[in-house]
A and B are shown apart, each in its own frame.
Chain A
């Protein structure tokens, strides 16, 4: 690593990813519509206001999980397309800083998507969000997003630049990310009061989501270098 500090590196990679996103507008023009159409399709498939209200947290997070697969594929496709990752490596960039940078950029994009999906669910599925549940919803969504981003960044880095990665990534990420789905869904259920749950039931899930996020983000920053470096 040269004169650039680790923190600057993280910030540079993150800003670069967000700038690419801002210019290409794939998130707003393609992925958000995809996520919203998924919500509509769930409504068609499940048919029934009561069921939708009960299952809304699960549907929101499933839509999140599937959309995140597309976002993370893209985040690495832009790197490998022009050999940008190789260039970073040749330049002697600290790979764990690259990991954190890409992970943060992913977190920002996923949180934007989450806001859209939750608002969409409130409007379309008739959820009433309680003010007391708002803190739980926000904190649990943020920790779930951190965990999901970390796991996706690790495996997308591994599969980047390899033929057949589009189908491999979900196979690798989804089983590992299942605790995120369970935790985030149950916490959101408590926040929405779906199925007669109370807000206090949601807090243990925040613990699970935080542990997951910490384990996989530190694990990721350790293994990312050896994964990419070859």
Chain B
């Protein structure tokens, strides 16, 4: 994944956002994802009830785990920014980077979940509390990213998005509770009676475990790179403004 540039670009200025730590992390992630493919598609057996559809779970469950982990990190980093004494901008960037990763994996979760549902339930979508909460949360975090993209100073952006990131945490239990209460009126709608909960054993559980470890490493790798990219975007916006100002001043000096 981290293809190093040819050795012609070297020593003086290092390209990219990689460090020794992220390279090690990247290699470990690739190895673990390779194992996930082998275990998920080849070594693990088909499920008694779900058949081969259970294989989707080995990528679906780790993605949803990663997405929720990313949103928890966003909330924590938002809290650090908002309540910390220094109002750390680094925390704000970690929150933003984590939310971007979370949105990507939430989308993956929804799509793979729908494919699984199509096989197991015969329909792409069910108005189950978990599915609905996840979908609404996905849209909320798209809103969060839109708030990050609003005009305004960086401290404004950081504070607004930190508050939105924390409000989303209030939203999750309320949405989940309301959808559950709503669906409890419609029990008969459950197609085929298969729930997302399956009894896993041995090799299946191990495959899932490989997936969760692989995606946790992947999250760390992506978070490091992504937050470094956001740091550089902030820095270049600053230096870009400075350069433009300096240029204007120079122009003014010439004419005056």
Contact = CB atoms under 8 A, between A and B. Distances in A.
Contacts of B146: 168, 171-172
Contacts, number: 79
A178 B178 contact: yes
Nearest to A227: B163
Interface string B72-88: 00000000001000000
Contacts of A223: 163, 166-167
Chain A, interface size: which category? 20 to 34
B224 interface: no
Interface stretch (B20-28, B43-51, B137-145, B232-240): B137-145
B170 A219 contact: yes
Given A158-B163, A226-B82, A226-B163, A179 B140 contact: no
Interface stretch (A30-38, A80-88, A101-109, A205-213): A205-213
Interface in B139-182: 139-140, 142-143, 146-147, 150-153, 155-156, 159-160, 163-164, 166-167, 170-171, 174-175, 177-179, 181-182
A172 B164 contact: yes
Contacts of A158: 147, 160, 163-164
Given A215-B170, A219-B167, A230 B143 contact: no
B136 interface: yes
A168 B171 CA distance: 18
Interface string A154-172: 1000110011100010011
B136 A175 contact: yes
A92 to B, nearest CB: 20
A205 B167 contact: no
Given A208-B178, A215-B174, A226-B82, A168 B143 contact: yes
A162 B146 CA distance: 12
Interface in A182-230: 182-183, 186, 201, 204-205, 208, 211-212, 215-216, 219, 223, 226-227, 230
Interface of B: 82, 136-137, 139-140, 142-143, 146-147, 150-153, 155-156, 159-160, 163-164, 166-167, 170-171, 174-175, 177-179, 181-182, 185
21 contacts: A154-B167, A158-B163, A158-B164, A168-B147, A171-B146, A172-B146, A175-B136, A175-B171, A176-B175, A178-B136, A178-B175, A179-B174, A182-B178, A186-B185, A204-B181, A208-B178, A211-B174, A215-B170, A223-B163, A227-B159, A230-B155
